Amino acid sequence: MRDKLKLYVPIIILALLFYMMITTPHSRALGDILLEVIGLKAWTDGHDGMHLTVIYFGTLFLIILLRSNSSSAMKPNNKRKHKIIIFICTVITIYLVHSALIQNMMGNSVGLNSIAIAPSGNTYEYKIVEGEIEEFKFEFKLTNYSEEVKQFSIVGFNDNIAGIEMYNKQREIVQFEIHGKETRIYKIDLGNYIIEVKGIGKIKNYASRGIINSLLLLNDNGNETEIVKLRDMGIDK
């Protein structure tokens, strides 16, 4: 029994330390959150620069790994294989439990807070010529983690333009919809919608393209909600 504890406990701790250092599709590194809770920096420059979480938890990981290897009671031929299998299974288990908890939390969120942007596949491109929008393309994927149907309009995104308004051909503000537990891809361009950009009178010629990291949504009651990717939650940009 004691030999099994000497084998399993260090590997479980190693798996947890490893998981603390990685960013997953549903969360930023748990080590970042833990360090910020106790008042330490996770990065040298806000959420950029050197990732201090990797240094802190990586150092602990190496220390425990070296001590575990030196004190292992298993035979050398079996030691490596068993440790790798247990380590991988533990990391996968932690990931699945963490993912389920995050999705459950999102599903219980109020209003449009149950919606999140997918980890990838979200792009924008627009071009303004002589104060007029000449090109405008949005493509993004949203997931609604609640069981309720959500309706919303889009009034802004992460670029430096203050806000946008989208109308259909009848000049009605476009209301988008996403069903419960659904992931849906949205494609928006000038062929389907009339796009107006607030403050465009101050911009003569401008073009930009990039990744959509956040969207500003408006519900039926006129309340604004900023949605982001799950792994960006809690980050002030």
Domain final residue, candidates 107, 127, 143: 107
Q: What is the band of 136 on the pLDDT scale with cuts at 50, 70, 90?
A: confident
pLDDT single digits (tens) 53-71: 999 999 999 998 888 776 6
Contacts of 161 (CB under 8 A, 6+ apart): 197, 198, 199, 200, 203
Q: Which of 30-44, 47-61, 121-135, 215-229 is predicted least confidently?
A: 121-135
Amino acid letter, residue 158: N
Question: Given 74, 107, 140, which residue is the final one in a domain?
Answer: 107
Point out the domain boundary residue: 82, 107, 132: 107
The more confident residue out of 163 and 71 is 163
Quote the domain boundaries for residue 202: 114-232
Kindly state the average pLDDT of the residues 139-163.
83
48 and 132 both lie in a single domain: no
**Structural domain total, the chain:** 2
133 and 37 share a domain? no
pLDDT one-digit tens code per residue, 42-56: 888 877 789 999 999
What is the Cα 229 distance to its own chain's centre?
3
CB 82 within 8 A of CB 90: no
Q: Is 225 among the domain residues?
A: yes
202 — pLDDT class (breaks 50, 70, 90): low
- Asked if residue 122 and residue 218 are part of one domain, the reply reads yes
Tokens in use for 63?
């220390």
- What are the phi and psi torsion angles at 168 (to 5°)? -85, -175
SS3 for 182-193 is CEEEEEEECCCC
| Predicted TM-score of the model (pTM) | 0.79
Name beta bridge partners: 139.
123, 187
